[in-house]
Amino acid sequence: MATVTVRPLPIEEPVLATSGRLAELWTVIRRKPLGAASAVLIAAIVVTAIFADVLAPYDPLEARPEIRLARPSADHPFGTDDIGRDVLSRVIHGARISLWVGLLAVGIGTIAGMVIGLVCGYWEGRIDLMLQRLMDALMAIPGLVLALAIVSVLRPNTTNAMVAIAIVIIPGNARIVRGAVLSAKQNRYVEAAQAMGCRHLRILARHILPNVTAPILIIASIWLGNAILIEASLSFLGLGTQPPTPSWGLMLSSTGRAFMEQAPWLAIFPGLAISLAVLGFNLFGDTLRDAWDPRLRGSR
Amino acid sequence: MYKYAIRRLLLAVPVLLLSSLIVFGLMRVMPGDALTALMAESGNVGERELQKLRGELGLDRPYHEQYLIWLWQMVRFDPGYSIFTNEPIAVALKKAVPVTVELAVLAMILGLAIAIPMGVLSATRQDTTSDYIGRVVAVSGLSLPDFWLGTLVITFAAIWFRWIPPLGYASLWDSPWTNLQQFLLPAAVLGYRLSAATMRMTRSTVLEVLREDYVRTAWAKGLGGRMVVYKHALKNALIPVVTIVGGQLGTLLAGTVIVETIFALPGMGRLTVEAILFRDYPVVQTNVMLVAGTLVTLNLLVDLTYAWLDPRIHYR
């Protein structure tokens, strides 16, 4: 007797649950050495930032003029600066500032961008038109100039640098989320949920948001690197973190440049720290993309 | 296509108006004004004289009047005078714009000259040593801060080669050789950073295109490798690359504050930042609007380039 095999109807690929996402990420990290390296790098920076007090051999603010501009040695592996502060301890504490600024700025910028993108993409119409023009207007102003102007309004310090970076981040995020929402809305299950009379908020949270989180997290990871760079740039221009707080950008601009020829270690180590942190987040962003971008699935 | 271009330009009007409002607003809510900054420089001046100066500069009028006056100036392309230097803004721009444009064009050329061939090489030899080298170079380019790279380049050029860029800005027309010496290093620093993003994009789009049927057909027809890669694959891979390059050119034209500061080049970035610090409202506002206008035009040009790169794209 012939058996009839029933072929299942093609169904739309279900949205990956969070555990599925982590599993995908884990697979990519295990297979790609660069992915693993970036994860390790980020973990190292996070640990450094959290345990800065324990890890730093000296007080980052303690000046000892008698050993000013000392070369790197066993006692001071990264040397000392122009008033005898230990550069290693300052770089270690700098991780805290950079990470803090990066996480908060990107957090605020991402959440605000997400809300605007969700509203624009879901409701479209007049509110979309207006908000999108506002985003365009913000994007038409050069990022660093906008950040500088905002910091000047709010007075230069670390917190305000964070707010400024967050505002610079919003428009790009809003645009990406809007695009993702517009395409997620085309899915049948969204139509079904609307037909069943689900409330908008429920549809947004349960059916659309999960589609949008992957691009958001990928972009956020890359933005983290950029936020660290912008904070360093603002501090470099004297409008971010204020002395004597150890910020990588500030260390580079204040003492690093002034004593570059006599004591190149003052510029080399903070710069290296910035580069490594940004590198870590960039590579991690790539790893997330490899793991979660549907277009790249199967290509690894 | 003309209709499309005109419609886009019309759509840009509200965006530019909003940008102008944002900048105007930000400048007015900043603590302190241009006169306090000016007075800090020149010493003791009485409150009455300050008021008189404010009146002359129109700073005592209500904000909406100041805004409308400024808007009318922008429409007439007559930005007026800098509060701080008392120089016509048009003159200041005439000095700063060529510096920025030269730096941008040089950086762009250097960046593309590295990025496109390396991106193609990386893609055509995927997972070989040259691919890995290319990708590492690209990711490090994205991660090295330009102020760090700039500082290191200047210092080590001085220590190792006993060479420092000639001081005092020289224009390209007056003394081309001095000018080139001043611009080559900063352009190389900027170009290296730019090439990173472009290279990564070129690599990934060329990889995608190389798997397309028509490329396989081209190979099957027996076309040479260079012909297939550059004529068939690259042109079609370029659309996302053009988007990135357009954005980069926009950023460059806005002025690269930090590189200009490190290499002491009097470009748009420095002009704008100094104007922000001195609360020189008209200069900041004019510069930002100039850049915003350039960005909007560039975005339009980028979109129009798509149609040239991919004949399937039509604008109506």
Residue A296 has pLDDT above 60, yes or no: no
**Per-residue pLDDT, B41:** 64
Buried b (16+ CB within 10 A) or exposed e, A200-212: eeebbeebbbbbb
Task: State the amino acid at position B298 in one-letter form.
Answer: L
Q: Does A92 touch chain B (CB under 8 A)?
A: no
Q: How far apart are CA A78 and CA A71, in angstroms?
A: 8
Is residue A28 over pLDDT 80?
A: no
How far is the C-alpha of A30 from the C-alpha of A27, rounded, in Å?
5
The distance from CA B148 to its chain's CA centroid, rounded to whole angstroms, is 19
**From the list B30, B140, B143, which residue is nearest A225 (CB)?**
B143
Contact B260, B64 (CB under 8 A): no
Contact B266, B85 (CB under 8 A): no
User: CB–CB of A237 and B273 under 8 A?
Assistant: yes
**Three-state DSSP state, A259:** coil
Q: Kindly list the residues from chain B whose CB atom is less than 8 angstroms away from the CB atom of residue A230.
A: none
Residue A297 has pLDDT above 60, yes or no: no
Question: What pLDDT is recorded for position A19?
Answer: 64
pLDDT value, residue A12: 45
Question: What percentage of chain A has pLDDT greater than the value 90?
Answer: 11
Beta-carbon contacts of B16 under 8 Å, excluding residues fewer than 6 positions away, are A137, A140, B289, B292, B293, B296
* Among the partner residues A141, A225, A236, nearest to B147 by beta-carbon distance: A236
Q: How far is A203 from chain B (nearest CA, A)?
A: 31
Question: Measuring CA to CA, which residue among B49, B29, B30, B24 is closest to residue B39?
Answer: B49
A179 in contact with B at a CB cutoff of 8 Å? no
Nearest-angstrom CA–CA distance, A262 and B153: 15
Cβ partners under 8 Å of residue B307, min gap 6: B1, B313, B314, B315
Say if residue A299 is exposed, middle or buried (CB neighbours under 10 Å; 0-12, 13-18, 19+).
exposed
CA–CA min distance A188, chain B (Å):
29
Looking at residue A54, its pLDDT comes to 87
Closest chain B C-alpha to A136 CA, distance in angstroms: 6
SS3 A86: strand
Banded model confidence at residue A1, pLDDT cuts 50, 70, 90 = very low
3-state secondary structure at position A276:
helix
Q: Tell me which chain B residues have a C-beta less than 8 angstroms from the C-beta of A267.
A: 148, 151-152, 155
Residue in chain A nearest B289 by alpha carbon: A141
**pLDDT, position B44:** 65
A47 pLDDT more than 90: yes
Written as six digits, the tokens of B182 are 């001043």
pLDDT band at A283 (very low <50, low <70, confident <90, very high): confident
| Residue matched to tokens 């357009």 | B246
Question: Which chain A residues are Cβ-neighbours of B143 within 8 angstroms?
Answer: 225, 275-276, 278-279, 282
Residue A200 has pLDDT above 80, yes or no: yes
- DSSP letter string, chain B: -HHHHHHHHHHHHHHHHHHHHHHHHHHHHSSS-HHHHHHHHH----HHHHHHHHHHHTTTS-HHHHHHHHHHHHHTT---B-TTT--BHHHHHHHHHHHHHHHHHHHHHHHHHHHHHHHHHHHHTTTSHHHHHHHHHHHHHHHS-HHHHHHHHHHHHHHHH---PPSS---TTT-HHHHHHHHHHHHHHHHHHHHHHHHHHHHHHHHHHHTSHHHHHHHHTT--HHIIIIIIIIHHHHHHHHHHHHHHHHHHHT--HHHHHHTT---HHHHHHHHHHTT-HHHHHHHHHHHHHHHHHHHHHHHHHHHHH-TT----
Query: For residue range A248-257, what is the model confidence (pLDDT) as tens digits?
Result: 888 887 777 7
Through-space distance between the first and last CA atoms of chain B, rounded to whole angstroms:
6
Q: So what's the pLDDT on residue A106? A: 92
**Do A245 and A157 form a contact (C-beta atoms < 8 A)?**
no
Question: Contact A275/B261, CB-based, under 8 Å?
Answer: no
Q: Is A60 within 8 Å of A93 (Cβ atoms)?
A: yes
Tell me, yes or no, if A252 comes closer than 8 A to chain B by beta carbon.
Answer: yes
In the predicted structure, residue A206 carries a pLDDT above the cut 50: yes
- Taking the C-alpha atoms of residue A82 and residue A260, their distance in angstroms, rounded to an integer, is 11
Q: Which residues of chain B have pLDDT under 50?
A: none
Task: Categorize the per-residue pLDDT at A193 as very low, low, confident or very high, splitting at 50, 70 and 90.
Answer: confident
d(CA B40, CA B47): 13
- Which residue is listed with tokens 């038109």? A129
What pLDDT, on the 0 to 100 scale, is given for residue A17? 52
- Residues A54 and B253: their CA atoms lie apart, in Å, by 45
Beta strands in chain A (DSSP E): none
Whole-structure pTM value: 0.80
CA B67 vs CA A56, B20, B71, B276: distances in Å: 52, 9, 6, 17
CB proximity A267 to B under 8 Å: yes
CB-based contact A244:A235 (threshold 8 Å): no
Which two tokens mark A14? 């279900």
Residue A4: predicted pLDDT = 47
pLDDT for res A299:
42
- The whole-number average pLDDT for the span A13-23 is 61
C-alpha–C-alpha distance, residues A137 and A133, integer Å: 6
- The per-residue pLDDT for range A66-107, each reduced to its tens digit, is 878 878 888 888 888 888 888 899 999 989 888 888 899 999
Measured in angstroms, the CA of A171 and the nearest CA of chain B are apart by: 13
pLDDT score, position A139 = 87
SS3 (DSSP) at A2: coil
Q: Dihedral angle at the C-alpha atoms of B281, B283, B286, B287, nearest 10 degrees?
A: -120
Cβ neighbours of A254 in B, within 8 Å: none
Distance of CA B30 to the CA centre of its chain: 25
Token duo for residue B246: 């357009």
Cis amide leading into A210 (omega within 30):
no
Q: Does A282 touch chain B if contact means CB atoms closer than 8 Å? A: yes
